Amino acid sequence: MTSVDLEFEHLNSTVDALRRSISSRLMYGVGKDAVTAQPHDWLHDAVELAVRDRLVARWMRTTRTQYEQDVKRVYYLSMEFLIGRTFSNALLALGIYDEVKEALAQLGIDLASLEDLESDAALGNGGLGRLAACFLDSMATVGVPGFGYGIRYEYGMFRQTIVDGNQVEMPDYWLRAGNPWEFPRPEVVYTVHFGGRTVQHDDRTDWIDTEHVNAMAYDTVIPGFATTATNTLRLWSVRARPTNSISPRSIRAIIAEKVAVHLNDTHPVLAIPELMRLLVDRHHLLWDKAWKLVQQMFSYTNHTLMSEALETWDVEMLARLLPRHLEIIFEINAQFLKQVTEKFGRDVELIRRISLVDEYGQRRVRMAHLAIVASHKVNGVSKLHSQLMVHNIFSDFAHMYPERFTNVTNGITPRRWLAQASPSLSSLIDKRLGPRWRTDLFELGRLREWRDDPEFRKPFTTPSSPTSCV
């Protein structure tokens, strides 16, 4: 590995520079000229890559600066990242929407027609995934160093079509045309073990005779708005055939002062016993030291108040697939219940309610309970949600750890859901407030000053107006 600074062309974002970049990408990357190029050639292989090039330089600078300064990072673990369409969001973040539109117009291409060709990244199906995406956007915008970690799904939920007036679901091959926004990292491959058995020794536990798959990383740039700061969304794809894997990171990277790990609901909660396994079995930390580190690092967002909707995992299945992780969960539970007994006495009903393992009927691990016990902060997603979480479904935990529970109200990024979704409305707001509301939504409260202003209200009520918002 070399530390020599690369010499590369610094890309401007003027109309002329963008037009040349798009033309070069089309000719040298696609091997076509403007006569033979199809719409998807212009979008996927020319325009998007020309825009992506302008993100990469700031991405490299941000990443290098973070490592040089050895800053603390947030690792946001989520089963879903509903990031939507990346192209128009990148134009907004870079502030070059109008320049790209004009550059394409000079090449005889309509930007709006290309925008409609981009597929949504099928990496989620609801609010949980959209929240994760908005957090990544916001962290980059305010300069919080962060990584999103998730799964690179090859297919989405489904693609809806209407046939003879009826809804028909089709597979969502969202990667069919490739994904120009991601960077494959074939050198970043981790082996994921499952099955096998454990062998106890005097000073350690070995997990042996396992099967495994190999997970390869794909990185996507997450740009901040009106800033040079960026973050990274790293998604993992399973390789069917075993390959040489890269050893896990040095223990020096897993210290509470430099790492914060956030669990977006209970889907990624197995990260808790996995980190304990690495710290205790591989790096030979004492259990108490490892557990203290884990509790300092993890935090958890709860998304449901219905007990029947809380995720649980069958003990027999865990014993078969992840025997060492189950042993670790049992040990966490034993020590936790010992603390409960020391604090509240031997209250059998309390122990039954609060245990990490539901012992009634088919034994199941309560993943939300594990997340709460291992985290230093637990939040709901609205004020009412957090109140009900504390007073109802997790009241026993709140009684034991009152300082652990807090509220973080769900929000959305105003860049995508106002500036990008409604350019005409955004323009109207800009004329009165300026652009600051894109990073400070409280600015929108000032619009009340003009709520009775006929000139301000006209675009909302007159569809034929050049600045109509309806």
Supply the pLDDT for residue 182: 95
Reference 297, options 316, 272, 318; nearest CA is 272
Q: For residues 267 and 257, is the Cβ–Cβ distance under 8 A?
A: no
Mind giving me the DSSP string for 346-371? --HHHHHHH-SEE-SSS-EEEHHHHH
Reference 458, options 446, 468, 444; nearest CA is 468
Reference 344, options 381, 290, 399; nearest CA is 399
What burial letters (b/e) apply to 168-199, b meaning 16+ CB within 10 Å?
eeeebebbeeebbbbbeeeeebbbebeebeee
The pTM assigned to this predicted structure is 0.91
Q: For residues 264 and 76, is the Cβ–Cβ distance under 8 A?
A: yes
First CA to last CA distance, the chain: 56
The C-alpha atoms of residue 201 and residue 47 are separated, in whole angstroms, by 59
Q: How far is CA 13 from CA 27, 110, 118, 156, 216, in A?
A: 19, 18, 22, 34, 33
The sign of the CA dihedral 74, 2, 69, 136 is negative
Helices in 308-416 by DSSP H: which ranges?
A: 315-321, 323-344, 348-354, 367-374, 383-388, 395-400, 414
Reference 229, options 69, 93, 66, 58; nearest CA is 58
The C-alpha atoms of residue 93 and residue 369 are separated, in whole angstroms, by 39
Residue 373 Cα to chain centre, angstroms: 23
Residue keyed to tokens 């990469």? 56
Q: For residues 129 and 80, is the Cβ–Cβ distance under 8 A?
A: yes
Q: For residues 469 and 459, is the Cβ–Cβ distance under 8 A?
A: yes
> Strand, coil or helix: what is 122?
coil
Query: And the tokens for 171?
Result: 């597979």
The C-alpha atoms of residue 152 and residue 238 are separated, in whole angstroms, by 9
Supply the pLDDT for residue 250: 32
Residue keyed to tokens 């030979």? 284
146-151 and 357-358 strand pairing: unpaired
For residue 200, give the DSSP letter: E
The C-alpha atoms of residue 389 and residue 395 are separated, in whole angstroms, by 7
Residue 16 Cα to chain centre, angstroms: 35
Reference 134, options 420, 389, 372; nearest CA is 420
Q: How far is CA 171 from CA 122, 130, 152, 174, 176, in A?
A: 11, 21, 16, 9, 11
Query: And the tokens for 255?
Result: 């210290």
Residue 235 Cα to chain centre, angstroms: 9
Supply the pLDDT for residue 469: 59
Query: And the tokens for 29?
Result: 């990357």
Reference 356, options 334, 375, 378; nearest CA is 334
Strand order from edge to edge, sheet including 364-366: 312-314, 364-366, 357-358
The sign of the CA dihedral 295, 300, 304, 308 is negative
Weakly modelled stretches of the chain, pLDDT under 70: 1-8, 240-256, 463-470
Q: Tell me the helix, strand and coil percentages in the chain, rounded to 5.
A: 45, 20, 35
The C-alpha atoms of residue 338 and residue 219 are separated, in whole angstroms, by 43
Q: How far is CA 27 from CA 15, 21, 24, 34, 35, in A?
A: 18, 10, 5, 9, 11
